[in-house]
Amino acid sequence: MTVSTAKLPVIDLSSPDRLSTANSIRQACVDYGFFYLANHGVEEELIKRAFEESRKFFSLPLDEKMKLPRKEHRGYSPLYAENLDPDSSSKGDSKEAFYVGPVRGSGNKAELNQWPSPEVLPSWRSTMESYHEKVMSAAGRLISLIALALKLDEDYFVKVGALDDPEGFLRLLHYPGELGSSDEEPIYGASAHSDYGMTTLLLTDGVAGLQVCREKWRQPRVWEDVPQIHGCFIVNIGDMMERWTNCLFRSTLHRVMPTGQERYSMAFFMDPNPDCIVECLESCCSESCPPRFPAIRSGDYFTERFRLTYD
């Protein structure tokens, strides 16, 4: 079956015409929940270095990587350890990942991070810290435009505390090239899922595989390819933003298909402060369209979602 390419708009984060940018974001989030983000301020050179360091880490012997097993959502998660869609396949996803949590902030948050030994990978930590900080800053600017897109004050998400020490998580991903050989069921790179948080900023190395399904309730599901555009982030809305907006903005199902080619990507999940209360925005409900979800503390929401995925 031929798969068509999703027609996603390119949003310019540096455009001085913020209202028109916000309108384009609104349209993209209502239609697709996905768009490209250009002129985001993360330098090409830094992106290149982050991919290189990621590649170096995943090339280490397994016993070296297993010295940093994922704890508190930070560290290494080996091949097949995660399954984003247990209904479609009993085997885990054909990917390995490394998570980096907030690199600054109050309390001991930053200290929870695990880092490869500087003797083995001397520039790894500083590269990932810079990348994390830069993407976090782009995400903060994007979120003020998302507020405008929702007809709120630009600093709405700052005022409700979402961006006090936000939970920015970087997930480095490596999909090995070989195709899984299971006769009974497909083995995905990443099986169908939506992201949990506010918004995700993704970069891939250009190898194909990412697909989106706009209408998650429709059967059979229709998948469309999302190619990487050089210099742009692929941005998507997460479930928490869908909840905040009473489903006005879509948190779209996506997956990574195995292509037989090795693939690297870096997903940055921008999530609110755990104490932030997520409740239906006034601009997204009315008498005829009442809130579909009760208010929830962001931290409680995540705890439950992670329990369902990883336990």
Ligand X SMILES: O=C(O)CCC(=O)C(=O)O
Q: Is 242 a binder of Fe ion (CB under 5 A)?
A: no
Our CB check for ligand X shows the closer of 210 and 284 to be: 210
Among Fe ion, ligand X, none, residue 207 binds (CB under 5-8 Å by kind)? none
Beta carbon of residue 202, minimum distance to ligand X (angstroms, whole number): 6
- Contact residue for ligand X among 195, 224, 242, 271 (CB under 6 A): 195
- Name which of Fe ion, ligand X, none residue 210 binds, using a CB cut-off of 5 to 8 Å depending on partner kind: ligand X
Note whether 199 and 37 are within 8 A (CB): no
Q: Are 8 and 36 in contact (CB under 8 A)?
A: yes
The answer to whether residue 271 forms part of the interface with Fe ion (CB under 5 A) is no
Span near ligand X by CB under 6 A; candidates 42-50, 74-82, 100-108, 202-210: 202-210
Binds 224: which of ligand X, Fe ion, none (CB < 5-8 Å by kind): none
Mode of pairing for the β-strands spanning 167-175 and 233-237: unpaired
Structure tokens at 221: 């599901």
Among 6, 29, 173, 241, binds ligand X (CB under 6 A): 173
Q: Which class for 34: exposed (0-12), middle (13-18), buried (19 or more C-beta within 10 A)?
A: buried
CB-based burial label for 94 (10 Å; 0-12, 13-18, 19+): buried
Pairing label, strands 34-38, 233-237: antiparallel
Minimum CB distance to ligand X, residue 295 (Å): 26
162 binds, among ligand X, Fe ion, none (CB under 5 to 8 A by kind): none
C-alpha 6/C-alpha 201 separation (Å) is: 17
Cα–Cα distance measured from residue 203 to residue 38, given in angstroms and rounded to the nearest whole number: 12
The answer to whether residue 160 forms part of the interface with ligand X (CB under 6 A) is no
3-state secondary structure of 275: coil
Quote the least distance from Cβ 189 to ligand X, whole Å.
Answer: 7
Minimal distance, residue 192 CB to ligand X, in Å: 10
For residues 31 and 23, what is the distance between their CA atoms, to the nearest angstrom?
A: 12
For the chain, what is the total number of helices (H) and then of strands (E)? 7, 14
Tell me: does residue 171 bind ligand X (CB under 6 A).
yes
Give yes or no for residue 256 binding ligand X (CB under 6 A).
yes
Q: In what order do the strands lie in the sheet with 210-213?
A: 190-193, 253-256, 210-213, 224-225
Among 93, 96, 195, 271, binds Fe ion (CB under 5 A): 195
Interface residues with Fe ion (CB under 5 A) are 195
Interface residues with ligand X (CB under 6 A) are 171, 173, 190, 195, 202, 204, 210, 254, 256, 265, 267
